[in-house]
Amino acid sequence: TQLLEQSPQFLSIQEGENLTVYCNSSSVFSSLQWYRQEPGEGPVLLVTVVTGGEVKKLKRLTFQFGDARKDSSLHITAAQPGDTGLYLCAGVSFRAQKLVFGQGTRLTINP
């Protein structure tokens, strides 16, 4: 069983601060994906990273895939209240073409 551990599970910070969310595993993944989920809705894909060491930027969000393809991080610069939500990382193994999720990080940005 592939386990994806996200940390922290809860994070509450003030508007304008920076933050990093981590996604770690002992398994190697062909792809790691980050989703954001609002209350009452399904997750929405933010980014997919497929190459070890890959860095992708989406406005104030920076995503990194570890060199060993076992971990990833999401860094938000100058957080805004609109960034509030549940952030989920998910991975695809090389052997089985299924997507498994971490437990999520609930982020609250206070004005």
**Which stretches of the chain bind other proteins, using CB under 8 A?**
1, 6, 30-31, 33, 35, 40-45, 48, 50, 88, 90, 92, 96-104
Q: How far is the CB of 24 from other proteins (least distance, A)?
A: 14
Q: Is 10 or 14 the residue whose CB approaches other proteins more closely?
A: 10
Q: Which is nearer to other proteins, 14 or 97 (CB)?
A: 97
Name the minimum Å distance from CB 78 to other proteins: 26
Residue 71 CB, shortest distance to other proteins, in Å, is: 16
Nearer to other proteins, 78 or 94 (CB): 94
DSSP characters for the chain? ----EEE-SEEEEETT--EEEEEE-SS-EEEEEEEEE-TTS--EEEEEE-STT-EEEETTEEEEE-TTSSEEEEEESS--GGG-EEEEEEEEESSS--EEE---EEEEEE-
